[in-house]
Each structure stands twice: as structure tokens, then as C-alpha cells.
Amino acid sequence: MSISLSDFVHGLPKAELHLHIEGTLEPELMFELAARNGVRLPYADIEAVRRAYDFSNLQEFLDLYYAGAQVLQTQRDFHDLAMAYFRRLHADGGVHAEIFFDPQTHTERGIPFAVVVEGLLSAIAEAQATLGLSCGLILSFLRHLSEEHAFATWREAEPWLDAFVGVGLDSSEVGHPPSKFARVFEEARQRGLKVLAHAGEEGPPAYVREALDVLHVDRIDHGNRALEDAELTARLVREGMTLTVCPLSNLKLCVVSDLRDHPMKKMLALGLSATINSDDPAYFGGYLLDNYVATARAVGLSREDLIQLARNSFTGSFLPHGEIDRRLAQIDAYAAQHPHGWEA
Ligand code: ADE
Ligand code: ZN
């Protein structure tokens, strides 16, 4: 029986490792929460919101992303937001996710840290119970804010540290190098948390080096611009460093001007442990499955490439080793069942 590319990827067990939960706020839910919470939106209707999603760089996106997050106010809002994402991940054939949340986006406007975290944790428990998904939560610091602000957030997070798998670093990259947060990341590492940083999305290869050498990251989020530096690229290969790459995000934020120019095929050919992820799917026009399928079509990913990407999504995850091995065995079994991949 022949299957389509989309069916093939759908059935492939896979994890999403780069997803901002605030970036899954669909315009429909934005309007629903605005009505529920009495928030006035600067858009006439849902179509007007979608029309506004035309970005020429990261900052233009971030401005709308932070504005959209204003409708998130109660524990139930955060729960509903995350459940909508989990249902979508499940529908895409995803089985595990490690998701970022940006507490400062919410505490800055008076929403208690507890409201955000408890809403997300209750959704994670529900997704596990009802959809069989596993999920790790990553506290991400906003790099355009100060180190002091990050430390204040870190202290607020103290009662929930056991609930997080790691800390991340996101927001406006250029001008805010990883080294700005060396001390708070060191504390997080000392507490046994994994450490991640967005680097090389818009920032130079030097930021990727800093993420490695100063923050001692366990994963690099994006990492595209590392390819400009052959020595750095070779090091990432040698160290088996996972890159959480987000092709449709790269297209929407003009990191690449055409998906056919996306470096994913090259990354795999070089032996980089690249993964495919959706970043902020409500803003970038596609969830996990869309990212795989659009990238496969645009750059010509093979059956072996797609299997490698699915494998990388587990070997690069923070799941226990036994669980990673179990998922890799499932991928092997799936690959054996589909020796010819899909029908073009
Ligand atoms: N916050 C949400 N998405 C982001 C991205 N792609 N880069 C930096 N910060 C972000
Ligand atoms: Zn991101």
C-alpha cells in the first residue's frame, strides 16, 4: 500500500524540541480570551490579525507576539492555550514535546508566576492522561531584559524548579549575547537543570560559541548562522550538539528568503544533529508536521533524512535514556515497515 509524504511523516514517532507556548496562540483563541477577559484588541477581526503576520525580521514578530500574549490572564487561559497545542501535536503524530514559556512576558504585566506555571502544568498532566503525550517545561529568560531581571525571575521560580527540565534564552538576539546571562545560567546548571540558548538565528557565529563556552548549553536553538564558520560547524558535529531548527520560522522571519534555500539538507549531510520544529506555529503558518513536509518538499529530504530527523528529536531530548531507546526502537520498526518511504 502506498502512502503520501504527509502520511509517512505523520506515522513517524517524533518529538518537538523548540516550541514557545505563547507562540501557539491562534487568532481564534486570542479573540476568545480577549472576550473572556475584557481585553481590547487592536484588530477588527481574525483575518486582520492574520494579515498583520507579515514580518521582515525577528523584532517585528516579537512585537506582535508580546502584544498577543496580553490576553493570557488566568490559570485557565494558560491551560487552554497549552491543551490546544497538545491536541495539535498529537494530531501531527508527535509523542513528546519540550516547550518554552516566557514568565517575564507575564509577570511584567502583573500576572503571578504561579498562575502561568500551574496553568501549564495542569495541561501537561491532562495531555499525559488523555493523549499519552510526555512534555518537559523550559523556563526561558528574555534576553532583552537585564541579568538582574532574570535573577529575580529565577528566584520566583524556586518553588517549581523540580517541575522544569531546563532554562532557555530567547527574544531579541542581536546586542544581547549569551554571556550577558552567564551567572544565572551557572546557577541553573548547579541546580541540575539543562541549559539552552537561542543562538545563530539572527546573531553571529560568535554567539553560538558563547552559548557553548560560556553557558555550556545542552542544546542550541536554531544555530543556522553557525554554518558560516567551518571550524564551529565541525565542532558542533564532533560534539554531537543538537540544533533545534525551525524551517517555517526561518522563512517567515527572513532568516532564509526561500524555503528551497533552507540549509536543512546540508546540515544533515554535514552530520549535524539537526531537528525540525515549529517555534511559534500560530504566527509562522505551520505546526510540526507542516514543518517536516514543507521542508522535505522544498529541499528534497529523503526517507533516510526524515528518519534521521525523527531519531535526532529523541537523542537530543531530555527524556530518560530508557525512554529514548524505546522511541528509537519504534522508529526502527516503523522504518522497517516502510522500506520504500512514500509515493511521490
Ligand atoms: N521568542 C519566541 N520565538 C522566538 C524566536 N524565534 N527567536 C527568539 N525569541 C523568540
Ligand atoms: Zn524560538
Residue 120 is part of a domain; what is its CATH number?
3.20.20.140
Is residue 344 included in any domain, yes or no?
Answer: no
Q: Which of 66, 201, 224 to mutate to test the pocket of ligand 1 (most atoms within 8 A of CB)?
A: 201
Number of domains, the chain: 1
Is residue 115 included in any domain, yes or no?
Answer: yes
Is residue 64 included in any domain, yes or no?
Answer: yes
Nearest atom of ligand 1 to the alpha carbon of 20: 2
Nearest atom of ligand 1 to the alpha carbon of 249: 6
Among 145, 107, 104, 138, residue whose Cα is nearest residue 124: 138
Ligand nearest to the CA of 253: 1
Please report, for residues 68, 101, 242, 305, 331, the alpha-carbon distance to residue 236 in angstroms, rounded to integers and kept in the order given.
Answer: 35, 26, 8, 18, 24
The residue type found at 176 is H
For the stretch 10-45, pLDDT in tens is: 999 999 999 999 999 999 999 999 999 999 999 999
Q: Which of 19, 25, 58, 251 to mutate to test the pocket of ligand 1 (most atoms within 8 A of CB)?
A: 58
* Res 344: pLDDT: 81
* Res 330: pLDDT: 98
Is residue 341 included in any domain, yes or no?
Answer: no
Helix (H, G, I), strand (E, B) or coil at 236: helix
For the stretch 107-158, pLDDT in tens is: 999 999 999 999 999 999 999 999 999 999 999 999 999 999 999 999 999 9
Q: Which of 16, 63, 280, 291 to mutate to test the pocket of ligand 1 (most atoms within 8 A of CB)?
A: 280
C-alpha–C-alpha distance, residues 193 and 215, integer Å: 12
Residue recorded with cell 535514556 = 321
Is residue 343 included in any domain, yes or no?
Answer: no
- Residues catalogued as catalytic: 201
Is residue 225 included in any domain, yes or no?
Answer: yes
3-class secondary structure per residue, 96-157: EEEEEECHHHHHCCCCCHHHHHHHHHHHHHHHHHHHCCEEEEEEEEECCCCHHHHHHHHHHH
Nearest atom of ligand 1 to the alpha carbon of 173: 8
Whose alpha carbon is nearest atom 9 of ligand 1? 171
For the chain, give the percent of residues with pLDDT over 70. 100
Ligand nearest to the CA of 172: 1
* Res 1: pLDDT: 65
- Residue 280, ligand 1, Cβ within 6 A: yes
- Residue 202, ligand 1, Cβ within 6 A: no
pLDDT mean over 49-76: 97
Partners of 194 in beta bridges? 166
The C-alpha angle 49, 121, 89, rounded to 5 degrees, equals: 55
pTM of full prediction above 0.85: yes
For the stretch 145-200, pLDDT in tens is: 999 999 999 999 999 999 999 999 999 999 999 999 999 999 999 999 999 999 99
Distance 132 CA to ligand 1 centre (A): 28
- Residue 201, ligand 1, Cβ within 6 A: yes
Is residue 340 included in any domain, yes or no?
Answer: no
Does 2 score more than 90 pLDDT? no
- Residue 171, ligand 1, Cβ within 6 A: yes
Among 306, 320, 303, 235, residue whose Cα is nearest residue 274: 306
Q: What are phi and psi of 56, to 5 degrees?
A: -110, -5
Q: How many H helices and E strands in the chain?
A: 17, 8
For the stretch 326-338, pLDDT in tens is: 999 999 999 999 9
- N-terminal to C-terminal alpha carbon distance within the chain: 13
Whose alpha carbon is nearest atom 10 of ligand 1? 171
Nearest atom of ligand 1 to the alpha carbon of 253: 6
Give yes or no for a contact between 243 and 250, defined as CB atoms under 8 angstroms apart: no
Among 313, 316, 325, 336, residue whose Cα is nearest residue 89: 313
- Residue 104, ligand 1, Cβ within 6 A: no
Does 69 score more than 80 pLDDT? yes
Averaged pLDDT of the chain: 98
C-alpha–C-alpha distance, residues 227 and 118, integer Å: 39
Distance 249 CA to ligand 2 centre (A): 8
pLDDT mean over 219-247: 98
Whose alpha carbon is nearest atom 8 of ligand 1? 171
Domain that includes residue 237, residue range: 5-335
Is residue 201 included in any domain, yes or no?
Answer: yes
C-alpha–C-alpha distance, residues 139 and 69, integer Å: 16
